[in-house]
Amino acid sequence: MKKQLTLVENTVVLLLIMVISINWSWIIFEELKLVVISQEPVNYTAYLIHRSITVPLIVVITINLVKRMATIHRAWLMVVGAVLLQFVFVLLGRFFGISHSVHWNLTYDLIYFAVLQVIAHYFLKYYRHLGRRGVERA
């Protein structure tokens, strides 16, 4: 039986992805002004929820499901499905006027979500390695 992630591992991955997501969106939306965010309070709240809650939670849920998969093909399919789900949320945001592209291609969003998955996977491996190394030293 595949081992699931502990509460601490889930929390650490969630916080890491949340920090990356918030900083990335701040750079892209506020500093470089590549995408314009709606100034309406409801739409801006939807953007904040997507950036701060939805994206990190989807990544953490995907990492948990990938760790349970028996084959690598199913794991890759799970990651691709999560990236596509996040992309659909971006498309919905564009459709409902939450954001508007200025100098931004939607392919960049796909790449960003895929890179988030890779970062979460390798950070989890590194975090587990640190835990094992700490136990070996004690």
Query: What pLDDT, on the 0 to 100 scale, is given for residue 131?
Result: 83
Band of the pLDDT at 1, cuts 50, 70, 90?
very low
- The answer on pLDDT for 20 being more than 60 is yes
- The answer on pLDDT for 137 being more than 90 is no
- Helix 55-68 vs helix 106-137: angle between axes, to the nearest 10 degrees? 60
What average pLDDT does this structure show over 76-87? 97
- The answer on pLDDT for 138 being more than 70 is no
Average pLDDT for the chain: 93
